[in-house]
Amino acid sequence: MLIKPFLSPLRAVPGLTYYPIVGNMLEARRAEAMTNALRWMTQLKSKLIRFYWFGGQERLLTGDPDVFQHILVTNSKNYHRLDAQNNEITGLTGSPALFVLSGEHHHMIRKICNPGFVLSLLHTMIPVFQERGNALFQLYNQALSESSTDTADIDIQATLSRLTLDVICKCGFQYDLQSLENPKSTGVMRFRHLVDSVRTTFVDLLPFSRLLPTKKNKKTATDREFIIEFTSKIIKEYEMQELNASKHRDLLTSLMSARDSEGSGLSDKELFGQIIGFIFAGFDTTATAMTWILLQLAQYPEIQDKVRAEVNQVFPDTSIYECDPEKLDKLKYLNCVIKETMRLFPPVPCFFRKSLHDDVINGYKIPAGTVIGLHVGALHRLNVEDGETFRPERFLSPSDSKAFMPFGKGPYMCIGNKFAQLEIKTVISRLIKEFKFEMKPGFTFRRVMSITIRPHPSLVLRISKI
């Protein structure tokens, strides 16, 4: 282990000093999420660096837009997702979901899912986004009416998670969960715990950690059983709709049609994996994105005022709020705010790929089997002017798309990115039109990682009526 770095074919890549056994992972887990990658690349004066995983395993980490382009687009067939990453998420879903698959299996499942995400279908979902946004508006209004002052302190993160869980269940699977109205429902709590169970501590990163008889692992197993039962209920309701000739065109229709078709359809296990996977992906990442957006608007009141002015111009009637694609498309400055927030706080700030064959990147020989971390946070912050500054105006003019990839790029690009953007625009514009968001005095947080990067503790903001 001590002489390995001197013999490694990757030794020419700028690298970190490390500890035997734990590599650089102890240091990585101690710091706030995204901090180390930015610091390491700055110190080594390179956007492609070498670091060490457990057991002295060498890995690469990059924030270089040309490397992203090479791995995700130009030579994407040579780079697959990690088996270990698959096993982690598959442990929760029961069968590999689309966002952990690679190669031909990914291509087959994505082709099946694509009809559920065509733009014309997504536009028909806007009323659901709007209805759930109205439900959240009523929830915040109720909190204000029950307050002894003209303000209320709201757990933004928790309420947005309930909204997005409702949205993905309704839009994707025609299932009315109504978790906004029932915050302590079993389904909401089980999904939240499963998301939080993904590698949140140093021990969780150790090999075979999920096999340990810990209280956390036992709770996760119980929650997983509930989610499987929940998914069975969704499928049974779909089958009843089919018998009653009242099917809707949605993601579940695409998945069920594939299962029912002859030939290479989905097995029951694969169907379960896709449904659970889409619920996870659909509610946590979008809720996290909206949480960061409202946090930024609370920290920058002048930008919040500018967004509100634009929303009022597009939706001038205070008593009627009817969204449609054309109106949402007119919210240009809000779109800049959304992009700038995702630049600073990409929902998934780092993901890994593994080379199938030897390659050359930036002049360095990359052997087959090399694991490379594509750090979206570093990509977004190290390749633009004033990368640490929140400045939405930077997106008013055309920018280098190679240095902005909040949803990835190439054949593995997030299939639900347009769905998420429409949902975010609809909900944020509704809330900003009605409420002022401010930081709660004394509230502090740090960035932490699970499936997504999010504030910890759960973000609480002070709201008041406009």
Domain-located, residue 46: yes
pLDDT digits (tens, 9 = 90+) for 126-135: 999 999 999 9
CATH number for the domain that contains residue 24: 3.30.43.20
Terminal-to-terminal C-alpha distance of the chain: 62
Q: What is the pLDDT at residue 287?
A: 96
In Å, what is the CA distance from 150 to each residue of 119, 269, 449, 461?
41, 51, 34, 14
* Chain-centre distance for alpha carbon 77: 24
Q: Which alpha helices (DSSP H) does 31-81 contain, by range?
A: 35-44, 65-69
Pairwise pLDDT comparison (100 vs 242), residue with the higher score:
100
Residue 431, phi then psi, degrees to nearest 5: -70, -45
Domain-located, residue 463: no
Residue 397 predicted with pLDDT over 70:
yes
Closest CA to 406 of 328, 345, 335: 345
Residue 171, marked binder: no
Residue 84 predicted with pLDDT over 60:
no
**Reported confidence tier of residue 238, pLDDT bands at 50, 70, 90:** confident
Mean pLDDT, rounded, of the chain: 89
pLDDT digits (tens, 9 = 90+) for 199-209: 555 455 555 66
CA distance 102 to 79: 9
> What three-state secondary structure class fits 297?
helix
Q: What is the pLDDT at residue 6?
A: 62
Domain-located, residue 30: yes
364, 10 contact by CB (below 8 A) = yes
Residue type, 375: H
Domain-located, residue 202: no
Domain-located, residue 123: no
**Reported confidence tier of residue 247, pLDDT bands at 50, 70, 90:** low
310, 176 contact by CB (below 8 A) = no
Quick one: average pLDDT of 244-265?
A: 67
Closest CA to 287 of 127, 459, 97, 466: 459
Token digits for 145? 């009416």
Pairwise pLDDT comparison (152 vs 230), residue with the higher score:
152
Lowest mean pLDDT among 131-140, 175-184, 385-394: 175-184
Structural domain boundaries enclosing 369? 1-85+348-405
Residues in the chain: 466
Quick one: average pLDDT of 227-240?
A: 85
Residue 216 predicted with pLDDT over 80:
no
Residue 4 predicted with pLDDT over 70:
no
Domain-located, residue 181: no
Residue 75, phi then psi, degrees to nearest 5: -125, 40
Quick one: average pLDDT of 416-432?
A: 97
* H or E element in which residue 309 lies: helix 301-314
> What three-state secondary structure class fits 183?
coil
Q: What is the pLDDT at residue 85?
A: 52
Residue 55 predicted with pLDDT over 90:
no
Lowest mean pLDDT among 62-71, 225-234, 456-465: 225-234
Q: What is the pLDDT at residue 91?
A: 67
Quick one: average pLDDT of 415-419?
A: 96
pLDDT digits (tens, 9 = 90+) for 169-192: 999 988 899 999 998 877 777 877
Q: How many structural domains comprise the chain? A: 1
Quick one: average pLDDT of 59-78?
A: 98
**Reported confidence tier of residue 404, pLDDT bands at 50, 70, 90:** very high
Domain-located, residue 90: no
Q: What is the pLDDT at residue 78?
A: 99
**Reported confidence tier of residue 161, pLDDT bands at 50, 70, 90:** very high
Q: What is the pLDDT at residue 400?
A: 66
Pairwise pLDDT comparison (217 vs 98), residue with the higher score:
98
Domain-located, residue 197: no
CA distance 86 to 89: 6
**Reported confidence tier of residue 243, pLDDT bands at 50, 70, 90:** low
Residue 111 predicted with pLDDT over 80:
yes
Q: What is the percent of the chain with per-residue pLDDT over 70, rounded to a whole number?
A: 89
Token digits for 175? 């299932």
In Å, what is the CA distance from 315 to each residue of 80, 101, 175, 294, 380?
45, 42, 30, 20, 32
